[in-house]
């Protein structure tokens, strides 16, 4: 009975499909006949997927249509290209905005350098324990070089080297962290500068707040001022956490003026560079603040820096704890005037005179060691009263004396 009713239901099904589709009637009839031929129990054909609007596609995937950095001639296997590839991965694959990709890449790179920073902190803490003795030995070497005896220089230098080997300290290890951070900063700077100069289309709208265009300078100059202030704070706090030296005052004062000196030259940098710079400075300030916590330093194996006390000179009494030099973060005790600091110009003149004296002493020692070579190559110097190669000088001949002729006339 169902098989007999199937041909009768074909026109009814076709009429229902005509209302759903706007195609011709014979299309529905053909499909209906085909459906009736195959059987009424077959499921209807699947409906095609809905095609979203272009605006909806751009809203759901904002990175669609952006060219890859390789198409713009960027990226590669160099340090600059690897940083550009990292930023592209964070933006294109993880979906971060460009400002978020730059900040995330900066924080990730700084986290990778944390073991090196902790090692530098340990070296600085161990060096500060032996700093007075190292300064005394270095002063002896400098005084010996100003003298004329080369044996004293060799003895003083051997004492300095043996002390460093015996206690496993080396002041040059403190430059390990800047030697690694400087190439990283230069690589990030060149990578972002190249991306802004291309420019990468995503950078034109990948900013935040008042700087939507990362390839253009800051229109309100807020980022350059923030970068300058944070750089000054990094230099100020970094100088205090390191090993203090008596001759570091002028150098520290010059470092304080460097950010202000470079401010006019960085005003027109792209905001992408300032995004990296400000993120790196913020991470440095947070790292410096955390490394000042004694409990965290003890957990990381970094010894606290020793308290600096005033060294009594000859004829002066040993200072009491109240008269000792206040440590960092402590105010001058009431009733005690702060010690007068030598001006930067006076200190520079003193160091210049010491450098000149050391140079003259080294030149004098070099002339003593190479006096034979200098005598052989230079002009001959007369060390005798009369040159033996010249013919002897004869006195003018006098006429023979003839007294008898004078007598006879």
User: What confidence score (pLDDT) does residue 113 get?
Assistant: 93
CA torsion 173→177→179→181, rounded to 10°? 180
pTM of the complete model: 0.66
Where exactly are the structural domains of the chain? 2-38, 79-115+173-300
CB 106 within 8 A of CB 187: no
Name residue 208's beta-bridge partners.
Answer: 211
Euclidean distance between CA atoms 244 and 395, whole angstroms: 78
Q: What is residue 407's three-state secondary structure?
A: helix
Name residue 211's beta-bridge partners.
Answer: 208
Euclidean distance between CA atoms 286 and 192, whole angstroms: 24
CA gyration radius, the chain: 43
- Could you tell me where the DSSP H helices lie in 89-147? 98-112, 114-129, 131-146
User: What confidence score (pLDDT) does residue 362 get?
Assistant: 79
Q: Enumerate residue ranges in the chain where pLDDT < 50.
A: 1-9, 11-12, 15-16, 18-40, 52, 54-55, 57-58, 239-247, 308, 310-341
Task: Report the 10 Å Cβ neighbour count for 231.
Answer: 22
pLDDT in tens, 136-145: 998 898 888 7
- Could you tell me where the DSSP H helices lie in 198-325? 222-241, 248-266, 271-290, 294-300
User: What confidence score (pLDDT) does residue 321 get?
Assistant: 38
Write the DSSP string, 341-384.
PPPHHHHHHHHHHHHHHHHHHHHHHHHHHTHHHHHHHS-----S
């Amino acid at each position: 009975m169902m098989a007999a009713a199937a041909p009768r239901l074909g026109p009814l099904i076709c009429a229902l499909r005509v209302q759903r589709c706007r195609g011709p009637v014979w299309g529905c009839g053909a499909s209906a006949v085909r459906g009736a031929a195959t059987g009424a129990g077959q499921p209807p054909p699947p409906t095609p997927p809905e095609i979203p609007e272009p605006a909806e596609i751009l809203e759901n995937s904002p990175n669609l249509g952006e060219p890859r950095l390789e198409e713009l001639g960027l990226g590669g296997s160099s340090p600059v290209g690897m940083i550009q590839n990292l930023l592209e991965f964070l933006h294109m694959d993880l979906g971060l905005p460009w400002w978020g990709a730059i900040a995330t890449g900066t924080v990730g790179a700084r986290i990778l350098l944390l073991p090196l920073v902790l090692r530098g902190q340990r070296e600085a803490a161990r060096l500060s324990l032996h700093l007075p003795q190292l300064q005394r030995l270095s002063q002896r070497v400098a005084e010996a070089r100003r003298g004329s005896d080369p044996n004293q220089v060799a003895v003083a230098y051997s004492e300095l080297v043996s002390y460093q080997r015996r206690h496993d300290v080396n002041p040059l290890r403190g430059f390990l962290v800047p030697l690694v951070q400087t190439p990283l900063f230069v690589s990030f700077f060149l990578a972002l500068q190249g991306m802004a100069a291309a420019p990468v289309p995503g950078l034109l709208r990948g900013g935040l707040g008042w700087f939507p265009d990362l390839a253009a300078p800051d229109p309100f100059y807020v980022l350059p001022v923030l970068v300058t202030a944070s750089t000054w704070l990094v230099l100020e706090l970094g100088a205090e956490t390191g090993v203090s030296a008596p001759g570091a005052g002028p150098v520290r004062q010059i470092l304080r003026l460097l950010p202000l000196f470079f401010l006019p030259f960085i005003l027109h940098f792209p905001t992408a560079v300032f995004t990296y710079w400000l993120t790196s400075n913020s991470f440095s300030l947070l790292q410096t603040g955390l490394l000042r916590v004694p409990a965290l330093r003890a957990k990381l194996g970094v010894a606290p820096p020793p308290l600096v006390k005033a060294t009594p000179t000859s004829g002066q009494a040993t200072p009491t704890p109240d008269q000792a030099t206040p440590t960092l973060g402590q105010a001058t005790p009431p009733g005690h005037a702060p010690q007068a600091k030598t001006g930067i110009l006076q200190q520079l003149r003193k160091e210049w005179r010491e450098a000149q004296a050391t140079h003259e002493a080294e030149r004098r020692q070099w002339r003593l060691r190479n006096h034979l070579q200098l005598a052989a190559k230079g002009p001959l110097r007369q060390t005798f009263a009369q040159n033996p190669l010249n013919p002897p000088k004869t006195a003018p001949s006098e006429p023979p004396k003839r007294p008898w002729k004078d007598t006879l006339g």
